[in-house]
Amino acid sequence: MMRTRPLKVALLGCGVVGSEVARIMTTHADDLAARIGAPVELAGVAVRRPSKVREGIDPALITTDATALLKRGDIDVAIEVIGGIEPARTLITTAFENGISVVSANKALLAQDGAALHAAADAHGRDLYYEAAVAGAIPLVRPMRESLAGDKINRVMGIVNGTTNFILDKMDSTGAGYQEALDEATALGYAEADPTADVEGYDAAAKAAILAGIAFHTRVHLDDVYREGMTEVSAADFASAKRMGCTIKLLAILERAADGQSVTARVHPAMIPLSHPLASVREAYNAVFVEAEAAGRLMFYGPGAGGSPTASAVLGDLVAVCRNKLAEVTGPGESAYTRLPVSTMGEVVTRYHISLDVADKPGVLAQVATTFAEHGVSIDTVRQQGRPDGVGNEASLVVVTHRAPDAALSGTVEALRKLDTVRGVASIMRVEGE
């Protein structure tokens, strides 16, 4: 039975995503009403610049006073697509205090203040949904929070930033250097004028924190996520990766420790074998590979950004939250009952690919091998070749290790740098997905 009184929606922010949400709410109004069981009405749109022309949006709905919109007493659901910490945080809290459920696409805020926001939603008996905060259109938060709720997720490895995947894919396919690939990404609109949040891994780290909390039913704050950007990845690294049958991706990796007593969350560039499903994720696409005890290996793939794909995720949440409202229930809130500690990067165990510039004389290989042994890092393969730049009496040494703790590898590298025969450590790259 269709309720005739509409559910009223406040849209907070009307940029690339918000304008698409408004457009789809209008053009698909009948379908949305049929799926929800009541019409949904865009009741107000809070913006910073009211004079901007917004096609398809009734100018009477536009306001600069988001707080008054939330407090006026008739709003059922607020959609927050402003981004950033403030005023989004205060507005979401105001929404809950006024009995309004929230759909948000705000990864930075959820990674930083997710626990407090969930608590506020809970205290007021309202929903907080945020499918769009991680990997755009890809259904991921809800499958992990609901479909996999009966399983045990042990590992999540994902490409959750499209800009950096585009850059790395260009470097891989054309042999370009980082700057050249970044310039192309900027020219095509994939990278912002200031690409720091993407290329330094901040955007991916926020998504990693959100996914780790959901995957392991624990609290993972943005500060718990180890982060390394991809600006140092070079054409030479790709050449090395190719020789190993690998490519390089910026990965978010979330792992439950073997003893199940702790978790780790990290973002960094890594080599992965070409045979791994994530290796074939090209251009600006995102993909997340989930390993669960009963389900086995699952991969979620699709567009991770952009107005329309992100609006799709927002609208899916809107339908769910509206259905909950009509049924007078709330959906799943925060699940953090395991309270697992988040270990430091030093405790992460993985494999490493290290390129060294060394003197080409007797005993150097033995000296390098001894340094690895002294730090408990076992070598898998070593390859030596003349320096590509033709420097005489010098060679490049590429060492690939077996699995070792990150702290042991750092100690090894520190000691290698002190050897007279080691002219420099050209690159250190983790090897994942084997």
Which parts of this chain interact with ligand HSE (CB under 6 A)? 161-163, 198, 203, 304-305
CB of 107 to ligand HSE, least distance (A): 6
CB of 402 to ligand HSE, least distance (A): 33
- Closest CB to ligand HSE among 42 and 281? 281
Contact 113, 213 (CB under 8 A): no
CB of 162 to ligand HSE, least distance (A): 4
- Closest CB to ligand HSE among 16 and 419? 16
CB of 108 to ligand HSE, least distance (A): 9
Contact 170, 247 (CB under 8 A): no
CB of 220 to ligand HSE, least distance (A): 18
- Closest CB to ligand HSE among 76 and 169? 169
Contact 409, 352 (CB under 8 A): yes
Pull the structure tokens for residue 140.
């991921």
The active-site residue out of 107, 170, 207, 249 is: 207
Active site residue 207: yes
Residue 289: CB atoms within 10 Å: 22
What does residue 335 show for φ and ψ, rounded to 5 degrees? Answer: -120, 100
Length of the chain: 434
CB of 32 to ligand HSE, least distance (A): 25
- Closest CB to ligand HSE among 14 and 132? 132
- Closest CB to ligand HSE among 163 and 264? 163
Cα 116 from Cα 85, distance rounded (Å): 13
Pull the structure tokens for residue 222.
């943005």
Pull the structure tokens for residue 42.
């865009």
Residue whose C-alpha is closest to residue 256's, from 286, 217, 295? 217
Contact 45, 14 (CB under 8 A): yes
Burial class (CB in 10 A: 0-12, 13-18, 19+), 277: middle
- Closest CB to ligand HSE among 92 and 110? 110
Please give the full DSSP string across 251-309, using - where no structure is assigned. EEEEEE-TTSS-EEEEEEEEEEETTSGGGG--TTEEEEEEEETTTEEEEEEEE--SHHH
- Closest CB to ligand HSE among 162 and 269? 162
Write out the E strands in 113-245. 128-129, 153-159, 226-227
State how beta strands 101-104 and 128-129 pair.
Answer: parallel
Cα 37 from Cα 254, distance rounded (Å): 38
For CA atoms 225, 229, 232, 233, the dihedral sign is positive
Contact 44, 75 (CB under 8 A): yes
Cα 168 from Cα 174, distance rounded (Å): 10
- Closest CB to ligand HSE among 135 and 408? 135
CB of 105 to ligand HSE, least distance (A): 9
Q: How many helices (H) and strands (E) does the chain have?
A: 14, 17
CB of 373 to ligand HSE, least distance (A): 41
Catalytic residues: 207
